[in-house]
Structure 1
Amino acid sequence: MFDDKLKEECGVFGVYNNDEFDTARMTYYGIFALQHRGQESAGIAVNNQGTILYRKEMGMVSEVFDDVVLDSLKGHSAIGHVRYSTCGDSLRENAQPLVLKYTKGHMAVAHNGNLTNANEIRSELEEQGTIFQTTTDSEIIAALLSKARIKTNTIEEALQETMKKLKGAYSLLVLTPHKMIAARDPLAIRPLCIGKKENSYFVSSESAAFDGLGISFVRDVEPGEIVIIDGNGLRSIKSKEKKQSALCVFEFVYFARPDSVIEGIEVYNSRYEAGKILAKEYPVEADVVTGVPDSGLAAAQGFSVESGIPMVGGFMKNRYTGRTFIQPSQELRELGVNMKLNPIKSQIEGKRVVMIDDSIVRGTTSRRIVQLLKDAGAKEVHVRISSPPVKYSCYYGVDTAERKHLVANYMSIEEICDMIGADSLGYITEKGLLESVKGNFNFCSACFSGDYPVK
């Protein structure tokens, strides 16, 4: 990923296997399909007749698991997790799923999102004698769940009590000796969906993880819903408290895979529509349109169709380089961009180019990409962005920079245009973006507006 991008959150995938397939490998392929949501660590926990076996390590899914490890993870149900640290340090002990033993047996927890009252709950629990081994929000949820379970008859009742105390974003999977449970926060800020194959059930952050495994999409988990899956099938406890949903709109801009469908909205189509709207809002005279791979490509296609300007493949992307934002200096980060993106000179030279990208966060990488196009001979570079200016930090599971580092917070669009070296710059309006994600859901766009759905 580029230094100029918002960092992904996490991805979760769960299996309740009532058939004969390999549980661990199905989970492996599930989190492999969600690798774009987190590349720092990966883990799988499997229920083997009441004992939870697990493996989690720093690294990509294919680095953490091999055939020997997967063969050792035998069981009929499992949950998996890929992580990018938005809360808690990037350390092995913070990798998920978290596996713990408590008064009622073993339990594993995997979580995507951030709690806004995490510090408050952690302090309260520590005063009561709880000892934490990690710095993650997920362990706070597990601690509350373990404590509530002592006073309730079932784990789902304990989860109901726990959810009353949680504020913020969470899509959650819990694995116990007899059940797999999924839950989504009352505002449904982060995505979570259910699938089925034969007699088995699956839960995933994105529907794209189902497709390659022959799993049929069933539905999204509803806001505030608890879904219980066991040997008797699937049942749910739906929230009686109706709140206005606040699904993260950046899932459609950048985070989710384009082949995912979230709340009935195809991610690819929403990006394509955003490009069309962007062409109407900020037209320009140019010779070619090109998208910055990969999340800028669908918007570039939409922009091209609406404007009538032909689209070209302006960049070759090297998919095997490391992530540029982990390099130790800005000079090396910019070198990383050069290694990751290479302009195709024959498509660019002597032409007025419209460059479509999904967002500008700090501006450093956008400046470098504009320079790459001009070094390749572009006469003009007109930058169009398929999200509004990012002015505010996210507290719901996305690792944005501090607000003082967000370039749109302290520069005007004209100043940003000058800073990145573009001939013109246009961002889609917030109204235009929301129009591109047509559906029955309401969205959180706090990173653009500062209007946070949870304080």
Structure 2
Amino acid sequence: MNYSFDNFVKEGLHEECGVFGIFSDGSLDPAYACYNGLLALQHRGQESCGIAVSDEGVIDYHKNMGLVTEVFNNSILDSLRGQMGISHVRYSTAGGSVLENAQPLVMRYVKGTLSVAHNGNLTNAVEIRRELEHKGAIFQTTIDSEVICYLIARARLNCHSVEEAVAQTMTHIKGAYSLLVMSPSKLIAARDPHGFRPLCMGKLNGTYVFASESAALDACGAEFVRDVDPGEIVIVDNKGLRTMKPDFGEKKKSLCIFEYIYFARSDSFIDGVSVYEARKQAGRILAREFPVEADMVIGVPESGIDAAIGYAEESGIPYEKAIVKNSYIGRTFIKPSQSERMKSVRIKLNPIADMVRGKRVVMIDDSIVRGTTVDRIVTMLRDAGAKEVHMRISSPPFMWPCYYGTDIPSRGELIACNHTIEEITKLSGADSLGYLPVESLHEMIGYAPVGFCQGCFTGDYPADIIRETLEGKERGGMNFDSKCIGKEQENE
């Protein structure tokens, strides 16, 4: 069989999502709790969503394309009765924007029914999928989450429990995954040994709740208990809560730093660090590293605002709201196609002309990836009468793709790989440009004991990446970095 990674990746292998799960003692209705949790996680995926519930072992579910408020109503939620549930919001990169890829996945096999919700991306999914297909496996989707489902179901045939099957599966899969697994009688939460993606646990009376971000716990009234540790498996059933910590060897803690920069909500705490404070600290660092005389500091909504407040506090330049966001337009960064990104930029943001007219403006944004947005924003500010526009970016330049689930594309698409800072400044139309120094990332999170992945900035990838995955991501024709290929060869 001529298996093409390029075809597979176009069908949505790479994704960044949000998961929410609940095992209820009766104090919370699982379907409505999942609905509220997904609303709080909507920023993590706006393409499709779903909820699966278990009622005494019988799993029912509903999922569809669209936002949470579009997919669910009271009638649907009332029909989803049970004692536990898992749920998911999703977006894909190029392709894969179809209903069969929506989650949670619900699979029926010889041991009963299994439902899985997954946030992250496996770096060896293509390899495992091909191996399984050659053994007769038939896949119904094009997402790596189905690979996880299949491995758990197969392992369960020879294991005494679902959690043992999950642990066995975790020894085979590589990359990023925060998982919620629901069997007829158990809710299981698991986080990969590197902890790439966030996953936390909350409690209300005897009800246990799991979510990608702590803000989703708040949405259903649960109290934050703690983060799920990297490599940890947490099991909840009628006997209560217990944990497993299989031995995966020495693994470097590698939470995606982009969670603090962009993805997570400001009111979330991830691995003990306030997202809001981390973003403000990034702004303070930018003010020290790239001072400028200006009349006001403004932030590009939403994640640029917190950094702008920090920049203003450090520099003494007043912060002003000068860009209004249309809240009904999704995030341009996570639109599946380039044309959709551009359309969204044109109708998503609008400057307050009276605020910026004749003023020297420091504009804070969270990142520059492809460069499709910043020139448009600078142009809008110029057209509104801004005298000067000084751009400050609360992340380092993106120099490498992401293989762990964030939509950081191939090097051929990254503007910082093909242009100097001076060239980007000129292309954007800004008067000056400053990026957060990569060596300041630790300072951004307050030197907290949080290990993080900065592979998209440095090319230093903490988890193995097979050659086929590297080639697929770099299908635009750019050469690979020798140290990445070297890592892969060392692990053959």
Task: Report if the CA contact (8 A) 1:193-1:221 is conserved.
Answer: yes
Q: Which amino acid letter does the alignment assign opposite residue 383 of structure 1?
A: M
1:19 CA displacement: 2.1
Residue 179 (structure 1) aligns with: 186
Residue 453 (structure 2) aligns with: 444
Residue 9 (structure 1) aligns with: 16
Task: Report if the CA contact (8 A) 2:46-2:330 is conserved.
Answer: no
Q: For the structure 1 residues 81 and 333, does the alpha-carbon distance in structure 2 shift closer, same or farther, using more than 3 Å as the test?
A: closer
Residue 258 (structure 2) aligns with: 250
Q: Structure 2 matches for 1:345-384, cutoff 5 A?
A: 345-384=353-392
Equivalent of residue 131 in structure 1, options 107, 131, 138: 138
1:26 has 2:40 as partner: no
1:323 CA displacement: 5.4
Q: Structure 2 matches for 1:123-272, cutoff 5 A?
A: 123-240=130-247, 241-272=249-280
Q: For the structure 1 residues 198 and 259, does the alpha-carbon distance in structure 2 shift closer, same or farther, using more than 3 Å as the test?
A: same
Residue 415 (structure 2) aligns with: 407
Q: For the structure 1 residues 387 and 8, does the alpha-carbon distance in structure 2 shift closer, same or farther, using more than 3 Å as the test?
A: farther
Return 238-247 or 32-41, whichever deviates more: 238-247
Task: Report if the CA contact (8 A) 2:95-2:336 is conserved.
Answer: no
Q: Deviations for 1:20-56, whole angstroms, at most 9, x for unmatched residues?
A: 4321001110111100000110000000111110001
Identity %: 57
SS of 1:114's partner is: strand
CA RMSD of aligned residues (A): 1.6
Residue 3 (structure 1) aligns with: none
Residue 309 (structure 2) aligns with: 301
Q: For the structure 1 residues 8 and 113, does the alpha-carbon distance in structure 2 shift closer, same or farther, using more than 3 Å as the test?
A: closer
1:333 CA displacement: 5.2
Q: Which amino acid letter does the alignment assign opposite residue 47 of structure 1?
A: S
1:123 CA displacement: 0.8
SS of 2:307's partner is: helix
Q: Deviations for 1:32-87, whole angstroms, at most 9, x for unmatched residues?
A: 11000001100000001111100011111111111111111000000000001259
Residue 295 (structure 2) aligns with: 287
Task: Report if the CA contact (8 A) 1:8-1:37 is conserved.
Answer: no
Q: For the structure 1 residues 149 and 168, does the alpha-carbon distance in structure 2 shift closer, same or farther, using more than 3 Å as the test?
A: same
Residue 100 (structure 2) aligns with: 93
1:400 CA displacement: 1.9
Q: Deviations for 1:74-102, whole angstroms, at most 9, x for unmatched residues?
A: 00000000001259711100100000111
Q: Deviations for 1:415-441, whole angstroms, at most 9, x for unmatched residues?
A: 000000000000010111221113112
1:329 CA displacement: 7.4
SS of 1:364's partner is: coil
Query: In the aligned structure 2, how far is the partner of 1:333 from the partner of 1:55?
Result: 28
Q: For the structure 1 residues 365 and 8, does the alpha-carbon distance in structure 2 shift closer, same or farther, using more than 3 Å as the test?
A: farther
Query: In the aligned structure 2, how far is the partner of 1:328 from the partner of 1:103?
Result: 40
Gaps of 5+ in 2: 1-13, 465-492
Task: Report if the CA contact (8 A) 1:88-1:94 is conserved.
Answer: no
Q: Which amino acid letter does the alignment assign opposite residue 237 of structure 2?
A: D
TM-score if structure 2 supplies the norm length? Answer: 0.89
1:168 CA displacement: 0.3
Q: Deviations for 1:118-155, whole angstroms, at most 9, x for unmatched residues?
A: 01100111111111101111100000001000001101
SS of 2:373's partner is: helix
Query: In the aligned structure 2, how far is the partner of 1:322 from the partner of 1:276?
Result: 28
1:232 CA displacement: 1.4
1:334 CA displacement: 4.5
Paired residues, what number?
448
Task: Report if the CA contact (8 A) 1:37-1:256 is conserved.
Answer: yes
Task: Report if the CA contact (8 A) 2:393-2:435 is conserved.
Answer: yes
Q: For the structure 1 residues 323 and 37, does the alpha-carbon distance in structure 2 shift closer, same or farther, using more than 3 Å as the test?
A: closer
1:73 has 2:80 as partner: yes
- Runs of 4+ in structure 1 deviating by more than 4 angstroms, as ranges, are 322-330, 332-335
Q: For the structure 1 residues 297 and 285, does the alpha-carbon distance in structure 2 shift closer, same or farther, using more than 3 Å as the test?
A: same
1:228 CA displacement: 0.3
Equivalent of residue 319 in structure 1, options 306, 317, 327: 327
Equivalent of residue 121 in structure 2, options 86, 92, 114: 114
Query: In the aligned structure 2, how far is the partner of 1:135 from the partner of 1:334?
Result: 26
SS of 2:176's partner is: coil
1:160 CA displacement: 1.1
Task: Report if the CA contact (8 A) 1:8-1:36 is conserved.
Answer: no
Q: For the structure 1 residues 209 and 322, does the alpha-carbon distance in structure 2 shift closer, same or farther, using more than 3 Å as the test?
A: closer
Query: In the aligned structure 2, how far is the partner of 1:327 from the partner of 1:87?
Result: 5
Q: Which amino acid letter does the alignment assign opposite residue 458 of structure 2?
A: S
Gaps of 5+ in 1: 1-6
Query: In the aligned structure 2, how far is the partner of 1:364 from the partner of 1:157?
Result: 46
Query: In the aligned structure 2, how far is the partner of 1:267 from the partner of 1:328?
Result: 28
SS of 1:393's partner is: coil
Query: In the aligned structure 2, how far is the partner of 1:220 from the partner of 1:204?
Result: 9
